[in-house]
Structure 1
Amino acid sequence: MSNFEEATRQLLTIPPDFVPYMEKHRLYEFFYELVTQLLIQQPDDPIVFIKQSVQHIIRKRDIPRVILIAPPSFDKMTLAKILQKETGICPVTLEDLYASSPIENMCHCYDANEIADRMKKLLISGILHESGWILVDIPRNKKEARAMQYVGIIPTHVIQIISSSVEDKTREKKDIRSDYKRRLRGLRDAYANLLIEVEAGTKTIQELGRKCATLMKIKKHYGAPSLFRIVFIGPRGSGHRSLAKHVSERFNLVHVDFNNILEEACLRETALGEMLRMCDHRCAQKIKSEARVQIIERYVLESDCLKRGWILTSYPKTVEEFKLLDMISTPPNRVIVLEIDIQTCRKRLLNHECNFTSEHEFSCESSVTDPDYKLDVHFNNYKDIIEQDLQEYKENIDAILQYAGETASIINATGERKCVKERLEACLMRPAPSAKPRIPYPPPTIDPMDIEFDPDDEPDLSIFDDIRAPEPKYSFI
């Protein structure tokens, strides 16, 4: 009996090689939404409810549902219309709710439960069900927020506008400000795990709208175990390898540099190593893309990379290599691209010299006082090789960015190295950009007219509707 109790108390862990699959298909988010709706609605037939809920979640989980909180003097409706233009969501106000209510029940719309019930009916109907919504001045207090949560109105984002302008403070009466602060405390408590604070500052209403639209693309964390698997892209001379080393130390990741693991693969007594040794010293330029990605996949599937995560440099160099990398069993979940002027990279590389004893690189502008240091130009820093590498990067980076789309984070790599490191760390501490997954090779479109009927095809299940009891229909927000 004691052994059973000890076993039930043990923390259940997911094997690291399962995590990429769950991330790719957003299974944590899926089950979180499923269980939330199941517990809120508590249907009589949970199996049928789960089946219908699965279909709803798959279709609607990327549709934003927003609650906007702002001071009384702030122009919330204008901001909501800007967000409608940016994202397509529809603003919903208390007046819209009153308009949808029968005249004889207008007096009941001030009750929290009545507001929640009528809001639910409004949100599951018409265009709001397809486009998403932004609630303006609803809910007004914690009681209304809890009532809406109880009926299943769960937002994806709660945006609080913080206005600190003197004009706003002088325009509001003292009692209005105190009432707003009291209600704000309750709303912040009700939506603590979804709240996003946006400082208005000196921004125009248009700039504030674009800022909010960007923040709406960031999804909340659902408690899934996550490891960084980062593709770090930048031209030679951008410092991407030294920055990757800093990130690996800062976040306890494995730094995977393709050039280094290629040399290791060449030394191994394997069929792949023998094939690589047949190439010359710059064999990386000649081996096939499939062999390159095979080297990377073998390395990142080792236990250290699976347990700690990794950051990859010097690969991919073309969009085709990127697509092959996305097809491995543990594909990257973060893409970071350094933005820097090519001329700056060229100047840095031409100023580099190397101590071949220690293999440390130095800038020509730095002074080396040790007489044992014998500096010379590394063969990779010869002018023709530098030009070739930079030209290759220029030819391929646009296609890589187009393929990565909104999954890529662009980091400004100009300025002091300390500032670049801070930008990079801040980027990794934020949630990954919310974007559709990259599809390396989309399946071909099929014309329905080209499909012939197969007698073994399953029949349309609707033909059995007349001979079996119909399933109950559940509504979702």
Structure 2
Amino acid sequence: MCNYERAAKPRPILSDFVSYIEKHKLYELFYELLTQLLIQQPENPVAFIKQCIQHAIRKRDIPRVILIAPPNFDKMILAKILQKEIGIRPVTLEDLSALSPAEDTCHCYNANEIAMRMKRMLMSGILHESGWILVDIPRNKKEAQALQRVGVIPTHVIHIILPSAENETQKNSKQRNYKRTLRGLREAFANHLIEIEAGTRTIQELGKYCVALVKIRKYYGKPLFFRIVLIGPPGSGRRSLAKYISERFNLVHVDFNHILEQACVQETALGEVLRLCKHRCGQKLKSEAKIQIVKQHILSSECLKKGWILTGYPKTVEEFKLLDMIFTPPNRVIILEVDIKTCRERLLNRQYNIITGSKHNLASSDSSITDQDDKLNVHLKDDIEQDLQEYEGNIEAIMQYAKETACVINARDERKCVKERLEACLMQPAPSAKPRIPPPTIDPMEIEFDPDDEPDLRSFDDIRTRGTPEPKYSFI
């Protein structure tokens, strides 16, 4: 193999570094950095990259939205709702025309002129603090490509879809022109497009939904390995749902009760401790021992390569914090919302045959159940009241700890609906929220000077440039 082929062969990123990359959104950072570098093509790319990163530190999460909707939909009202909720500023053709009122404003309707004026507005910095939402811009694929060529790249493109009956009543020239240009716009923004069906929702409800979507940043990097914690009370169907998700997304299902039984029979120091606790009636297993059992499985090579879904753990906030402190913490937290009464009924209806060991549900219409009523009993492992009380006493604190990082799913409906909601939750980007465990603060007074420390490289700036000032760049 020649040197070129060896160098061109992609190298996989080690699993040890994946959680750090995801936590600090490094994929997204380098994606946007490379995009702007190729569009702007600066003479001094090193200075451009340095200043671009400094700009990204302050403005990286500012929303940039393009709104696409039929002509009979009032886009400005929706834009005003977003402006009120998150401070994002609407930009229209009239705003671009007002940049140079002395010039002939008819030129503003040219695709290249629209792009250049938009670029001029953004590089002036007046929208750096608020972000922007384009209303009736762009109107076709040519204008969209002109904006992309000058570096106007949105973070979200929202396409409002009205009911078909409402569209049919508005068959005029504007509607026909919109349908002709819609396909081109969708092609130009395929990587950022978000479809929203208006249905019977009011404009205020649509606005709130759009606000929630804008707060979620799209993931541009390599496919994520799911590391899911599925939390729910006994009887919520968490284990069967986890089994379905593990098969659907090729994940490793890690059930705490199952791996606990495995650890108890192993001839290890941990297994000996577990057997000792098991023989002592009423003695609970310490949190430190539980996390060791969990770490042993989710840090295995199979879980690091495939991803995992964890059930039965954590049960308390203390256990959740220990889980967050491992090298690859969960990147999805899903809570199944079911009332305790429903769970109790499900657990009481879940019985097993004491002879064959087969499981049955008394609430189902299975005719074979009536033939063996005398052989059925409640599962011995189902210590119903104790488990439900433990969950009920800890779930509020767990949700308070997880906050915006958790996704709550209604699990009271039919199993098919719950599966669809669970899949939809996983297919969406992870909630953009602060980390559950903030990084430790460093006291400057505790930092000691080491004579062997590397010198401050800023002192060599004048030597490198030989007195030539570094060029200053403006960013969109």
- Compute the TM-score of the two structures, normalised by the length of structure 2: 0.89
Task: Describe the superposition over 1:379-423 as per-residue Cα deviations: whole angstroms up to 9, x where unpaired.
Answer: 443xxx422221221222122122222221211111222222222
Distance 1:9 1:444, change over 3 A: closer
Check whether the contact 2:65–2:157 (CA below 8 A) recurs between aligned residues: yes
1:268 aligns with 2:266: yes
Contact 1:266–1:274, Cα closer than 8 Å, also in 2 = yes
Instruction: Give the SS at the match of 2:199.
Output: coil
- Tell me what 1:347 maps to: 345
SS in 1 for 2:34: helix
What do residues 127-182 of structure 1 show as CA deviations (whole Å, max 9, x unaligned)? Answer: 51012110101122222211211111100111111223645543452x22222222
Query: 1:439 maps to what in 2?
Result: 436
2:333 pairs with one of 335, 338, 361: 335
The CA deviation at 1:460 is 11
- 1:3-43 Cα offsets, whole Å, 9 max, x none, are 55764675543333433332222221111111111101111
The alpha-carbon deviation at position 465 of structure 1 amounts to 7.5
Q: Name whichever of 66-75 and 417-426 sits farther off.
A: 417-426
Distance in 2, matches of 1:461 and 1:301, equals: 41
For 2:378, the equivalent position in structure 1 comes to: 377
Counterpart-to-counterpart distance in 2, 1:111 and 1:417: 54
After superposition, where does 1:172-211 map in structure 2 within 5 Å? Answer: 173=172, 175-211=173-209
Q: Which amino acid aligns with 1:432?
A: P
In structure 2, the residue matched to 1:26 is 25
DSSP-derived class of the 1:130 partner: coil
Please show how residues 227-238 of structure 1 align to structure 2 within 5 Å.
227-238=225-236
Gaps of 5+ in 2: none
Residue of structure 1 in register with 2:169 after alignment: 170
- What are the ranges of 5 or more consecutive residues in structure 1 without an aligned counterpart? none
19-28 vs 361-370, which moves further: 361-370
Equivalent of 2:296, from 290, 295, 298? 298
SS of equivalent residue, structure 2 residue 169 = helix
Separation (CA, whole Å) in 1 of partners of 2:340 and 2:372: 34
Q: Secondary structure at the match of 1:129?
A: coil
Residue 67 of structure 1: how far off its partner (Å): 0.4
Contact 1:73-1:172 at 8 Å conserved across structures: no
Is this contact kept in 1: 2:236–2:338, CA < 8 A?
yes
Q: Describe the shift of the 1:242–1:24 C-alpha distance in structure 2 as closer, same or farther (beyond 3 A).
A: same
Q: Which moved more, 1:290-299 or 1:214-223?
A: 214-223
Task: Describe how 1:57-68 pairs up with structure 2 within 5 A.
Answer: 57-68=56-67
Query: What SS does the aligned partner of 2:195 have?
Result: strand
**Which residue in the other structure is 2:51 paired with?**
52
Residue 353 of structure 1 aligns to a residue in which SS?
strand
Q: Secondary structure of the residue that 2:342 maps to in structure 1?
A: helix
SS of residue in 1 equivalent to 2:409: strand
Instruction: Give deviations 1:93-113, integer Å, cap 9, x for gaps.
Output: 111112222413534323322
Instruction: Answer yes or no: is the 8 Å Cα contact 1:68–1:135 preserved in 2.
Output: yes
Aligned-pair identity (%):
65
Alpha-carbon distance in structure 2 between the residues aligned to 1:227 and 1:103: 55
The one-letter amino acid of 2:369's match is V
Determine helix, strand or coil for the equivalent of 1:43: coil
Amino acid at match of 1:186: G
**Alignment partners' CA distance in 1, 2:239 and 2:415:** 13
User: Quick one: structure 1 residues 182 and 168, their matched pair in 2 at CA, closer, same or farther if it must change by over 3 Å?
Assistant: closer
Q: 1:299 to 1:72 in 2, by over 3 A?
A: same
User: CA offsets, 1:255-289, max 9 Å, x none?
Assistant: 10111111211222222122222102688972322
Report if aligned partners of 2:362, 2:369 keep a CA contact under 8 Å in 1: no
CA distance in 1, matches of 2:182, 2:161: 11
Matched AA of 2:86: T
- The residue identity in structure 2 corresponding to 1:114 is E
**Partners of 2:311 and 2:156 in 1: how far apart?**
34
Equivalent residue, structure 2, for 1:368: 369
State the match for 1:149 in structure 2. 148
Equivalent pair of 1:112/1:143 in contact (CA under 8 Å): yes
1:99 aligns to what?
A: 98
Aligned residues: 469
- Which residue number in structure 2 is paired with residue 240 of structure 1? 238
Question: What residue number does 1:111 align with?
Answer: 110
CA offsets per residue over residues 359-386 of structure 1, 9 Å max, x none?
A: 54433456436769943333443xxx42
Q: Which amino acid aligns with 1:321?
A: E
- Per-residue Cα deviation, 1:428-459 (whole angstroms, up to 9, x for no partner): 2x22333124232553586x8x7899798988
Distance (Å, rounded) in 2 between the aligned partners of 1:247 and 1:128: 42
Corresponding residue SS for 2:19: helix
Q: How does 1:11-22 map to 2 (within 5 A)?
A: 12-22=11-21
Whether the 8 Å contact between 1:258 and 1:296 is mirrored in structure 2 is yes
| Separation in 2, partners of 1:204, 1:72 | 17
Say if 2:87 is the partner of 1:70.
no
RMSD: 3.1
Instruction: Give the conservation status (yes or no) of the 8 Å contact 1:334–1:432.
Output: no
Distance, in Å, in 2 between the alignment partners of 1:186 and 1:372 is 65
State the alpha-carbon separation in 1 of the partners of residues 158 and 283 from structure 2: 50
For residue 233 of structure 1, what is the amino acid of its counterpart?
Answer: I
Closer/same/farther in 2, CA of residues 48 and 296 from structure 1, 3 Å limit: same
Runs (4 or more) in structure 1 with deviation over 6 Å come to: 282-285, 369-373, 450-460, 462-467
Match of 2:137 in 1: 138
Q: C-alpha distance in 2, partners of 1:306/1:265?
A: 20
1:225 to 210, 223, 231: 223
Q: What is the alpha-carbon distance in structure 2 between the residues aligned to residue 363 and residue 135 of structure 1?
A: 55
Q: TM-score, normalised by structure 1?
A: 0.88
Query: 2:415 matched to which residue of 1?
Result: 417
Contact in 1 for aligned 2:138/2:144 (Cα 8 Å): yes
